Amino acid sequence: MVAVNNSEIAREARLINTFAQSYVPKFTQLVERLNHRKVAGAITGEEADSLRLCVEAMGMLVATQARLAKLIENAQDKSPVR
């Protein structure tokens, strides 16, 4: 097993958080558009609902990833350096 130090973990957590934070608003806007059917194309009914649910699920995953990355980053900041 490869040893990983706290600074590497914190750096990865910051990278994950930055990526996730950039996508959260994009998913939020897309869900809003889908909720109001302001999307290009001819998808309607169940197809549109399925697409909206998929986008909402991805948005929740990205938001959760951001929260976990922030928790990891904060934990690394408080732990002793190895």
Q: Put residue 80 in one of left, alpha, beta given phi > 0 → left and psi -120 to 50 → alpha.
A: beta
As a whole number of angstroms, the distance between CA 52 and CA 34 comes to: 6
Residue 16 lies in a domain: yes
The answer to whether 33 and 9 are in contact (CB under 8 A) is no
pLDDT value of position 51: 86
Q: Total domain count for the chain?
A: 1
CA angle 74, 61, 6 (to 5 degrees): 25
This prediction has a pTM of 0.69
Residue 17, in any domain of the structure: yes
Domain assignment present for residue 82? The answer is no
- What is the span of the domain harbouring residue 69? 8-76
Q: Is residue 59 part of a domain?
A: yes
- Kindly report, residue by residue over 40-61, the tens digit of the pLDDT: 566 777 887 888 889 999 999 9
